[in-house]
Amino acid sequence: MTEPSQPNTAGRRLDERPYRLPGLSPNTTQDAVVVVPGIMGSELYDTESGDVVWGLANAGWLLKAWTAPRGLRALHLTPDEREGRLGRIRARRLLRTPAWSPFLRGIEPYNDLVATVTRSVADPEAVLPFAYDWRLSVATNARFLAEAARDHLERWRRHPAHALARKHRVDEREGRLVFVAHSMGGLLTLAALTDGPDGDLAADTRGVLTLGTPFQGAVAAAAILNTGQGTPVPLPHGRLRRLAYTMPGLHDLLPTFPCLDEGLNIRGLSPTDIADLGGDKDLAVDSQTLHDTLRGRALPGHRALVGISQPTLQSLTLHQGVVTASEHCYREHSDGELMRDETGAPRRFDVGGDGTVHKESAASPLNRAIVPLALQHGALAQGEAALEAVTSFLEEDEHLGPPQAGARVGIEVPDLVAPGTPWTVRVRGVDSPAGLDCAVEEVGGAFAGPARLYGDDDHLAARVTVPAPGLYRVTLDTGDATPLTQLVLAAPDERDDG
């Protein structure tokens, strides 16, 4: 039998509180957040015709864009645009449906990322999805980003929800900026904060979270510019090469680290090399100037989400204008000297990456605060573990990374396949299909089916056939809340002879 509570000397029962318990305070930030997508991550439209020229929501449009005679023509930079007379093409919004490109492969939409950010802020008005014309140079878009971020912060600080949010935070400080930037968006953010028109913007920034940003470039960009040099290639690859030649933004993604293998010597690409492999020398010079300006600059409060374990191009040879890219890189000692073996040959390392950007480029030389995720490049802005890291960053929590059970698992998928023709998915890092589920489904379509894994030399593999042209997603579920995904386009096998 429970004894009744005894009154205290003030006449109040001992189990009574002198106040009513308040409800839980919201764990939302008072900061203003800017979401910056990667290359090809913004929908673009032609202001003269009113037509969407990148980002329509159906596979038929994608097939037409990459195979029709003038499918990508509107995206080519004109002489006026090269001279800075802009406005013909405008960015409408962040990508809302999956897209695809050779080499860059799957370009996942940003709906989940924006929704995740919105759940962590005091009001949806605190979030600015920054769409931009990714064809243009990083320097040009960085100026636009700096202006937009400043306007966004000032508007948010005047918003009633900002004042309320401050009361729930430990220091009740005024809101500052937080950038969440995927891929090339991280380079825009670095340029905006270190060399942009607003010299006070970095001081008003609490932190920057980058997701797969190629701070030192990506060998994949060189492969894009070199595709088809002297040989017929699948039609979409040739179309991308001709588009990329006109794009300052693509040239800004070229590797700046020592990656050119000349036997006993490993060096960086020069503007002459870039012209030799199929790029524009003037754009290469401009890009080199940009990276020279940014070299040695650090992002405030930087944390990097870095893709690991995926097969990733990391170095190249250049012979008579033809690039041969490899999945290994070279390292330097702390004194800047190349690491060599006992015979004097440069040591080779396979550090992996996210399938597009190798790990050491995405980590940034000045930043060791990284979260490694076994995800492909496009999925770094969409995977569950990545979104958890975004949430913890916005809430100013420490994040120790996701469960590491599947951290060494990688997936290799062709970027382009032919309908009705078998092709292979390869899984690296495991020797048994136990606990793994692999499946293929058509994006927005009816086709879906398992991809049965079997032993293939040192890897697992699955043979897959899709029935019709379209965009398909391969998913490898490792059972650890970080499934690997990769988009693949199925299109007729037509060749581009240049």
Chain segment 191-207, per-residue pLDDT in tens: 999 988 888 999 999 99
Are 273 and 241 part of one and the same domain?
yes
9 secondary structure, DSSP code: T
498 inside domain: no
pLDDT confidence band for 59 (50 / 70 / 90): confident
CATH classification at residue 192:
3.40.50
pTM of the complete model: 0.90
Q: What is the pLDDT of residue 336?
A: 85
Q: Are 182 and 300 found together in one domain?
A: yes
What is the percent of the chain with per-residue pLDDT over 90, rounded to a whole number? Answer: 70
pLDDT for res 224: 96
Please, which pLDDT band fits residue 105 given cuts at 50, 70 and 90?
A: confident
- Flag whether 2 is in a domain: no
Note whether 235 and 494 are within 8 A (CB): yes
Q: Are residues 420 and 385 in the same domain?
A: no
Q: What is the pLDDT of residue 172?
A: 83
Within this chain, do residues 111 and 253 fall inside the same structural domain, yes or no?
Answer: yes
Residue type, 45: Y
- Write out pLDDT tens, residues 42-53: 999 999 999 999
The domain boundary residue, chosen from 354, 381, 402: 402
Domain ranges, residue 320:
23-402
3-state secondary structure of 243: helix
| 257 and 276 both lie in a single domain | yes
Please give the pLDDT value at position 196: 83
Instruction: Specify if 15 maps to a domain.
Output: no
- The encoded tokens of residue 480 equal 């650890």
Q: What pLDDT sits at residue 395?
A: 85
- The total number of residues shown for the chain amounts to 498
152 plus 257 within the same structural domain: yes
Per-residue pLDDT tens for 172-188? 889 999 999 999 999 99
Contact 206, 177 (CB under 8 A): yes
pLDDT digits (tens, 9 = 90+) for 421-436: 999 999 988 888 888 9
Most confident of 203-212, 222-231, 458-467: 203-212
CA angle 254, 244, 236 (to 5 degrees): 120
Name the burial class of residue 447, with classes exposed (0-12), middle (13-18) and buried (19+) by CB atoms within 10 angstroms of its CB.
middle
Query: Which pLDDT band, with edges at 50, 70 and 90, does 243 fall under?
Result: very high
Backbone angles phi, psi at 349, to 5 degrees: -135, 135
Shared-domain flag, residues 396 and 422: no
| 495 part of a folded domain | no
Domain boundary among 384, 402, 420: 402
Query: Would you say 184 and 249 are in contact if contact means Cβ atoms under 8 Å apart?
Result: yes
Tokens 């040959």 belong to residue: 345
Q: pLDDT digit string (tens) for 321-344? A: 999 999 999 999 888 899 999 999
Say yes or no: 331 and 420 in one domain: no
Residue 249 above 50 pLDDT? Answer: yes
- Give per-residue pLDDT as tens, 349-402: 999 999 999 999 999 777 768 889 999 998 899 888 889 999 999 987 554 444
Q: Would the pLDDT of 465 be above 50? A: yes
Q: Please check whether residue 241 is in contact with residue 227, taking contact to mean a CB–CB distance below 8 angstroms.
A: yes
Q: Is it the case that residue 403 has pLDDT exceeding 50?
A: no
Q: What is the spatial distance between Cα 187 and Cα 145, in angstroms, rounded to a whole number?
A: 11
Whether 13 is covered by a domain: the verdict is: no
- What is the pLDDT at residue 445? 87
The answer, yes or no, to whether residue 11 has pLDDT greater than 70, is no
The string of pLDDT tens digits covering residues 267-325 is: 999 999 999 999 999 999 999 999 999 999 999 999 999 999 999 999 999 999 999 99
Q: Establish if 447 belongs to a structural domain.
A: yes
Element (H, E) at 251: helix 248-251
pLDDT value at position 239? 92
In this predicted model, which residue has the larger pLDDT, 400 or 148? 148
**What is the pLDDT, as a whole number, of residue 21?**
60
- pLDDT at residue 161, rounded to an integer: 95
Residue 232 confidence (pLDDT)? 83
Q: Are residues 275 and 352 in the same domain?
A: yes
d(CA 354, CA 411): 10
Residues 306 and 356: beta-carbon distance below 8 Å: no
* Mean pLDDT value across residues 54-68: 86
Confidence of residue 10 (pLDDT cuts 50, 70, 90): low
Going by pLDDT thresholds of 50, 70 and 90, the confidence category of residue 8 is low
CB atoms within 10 A of CB 492: 11
The answer on 397 and 426 residing in a single domain is no
Residue 297 half-sphere exposure toward CB, CA atoms < 13 A:
20
CATH number, domain at 468?
A: 2.60.40.10
Alpha-carbon span 480 to 488, nearest angstrom = 24
- CA atoms of 258 and 175, how far apart (whole Å): 40
pLDDT at 1: 45
Domains in the chain, number:
2
Strands 423-428 and 437-442: unpaired
The predicted structure's pLDDT at residue 212: 96
Mean of pLDDT over the chain: 90
CA distances from 140 to 9, 85, 88 (A): 73, 12, 15
Choosing from 336, 370, 402, the residue where a domain stops is: 402
Q: What is the pLDDT of residue 221?
A: 97
Asked if residue 222 and residue 202 are part of one domain, the reply reads yes
Flag whether 14 is in a domain: no
pLDDT surpasses 60 at 441? yes
Co-location of 451 and 319 in the same domain: no
Of the listed ranges 17-26, 84-93, 129-138, 218-227, the one predicted with least confidence: 17-26
In a domain, 5, yes or no: no
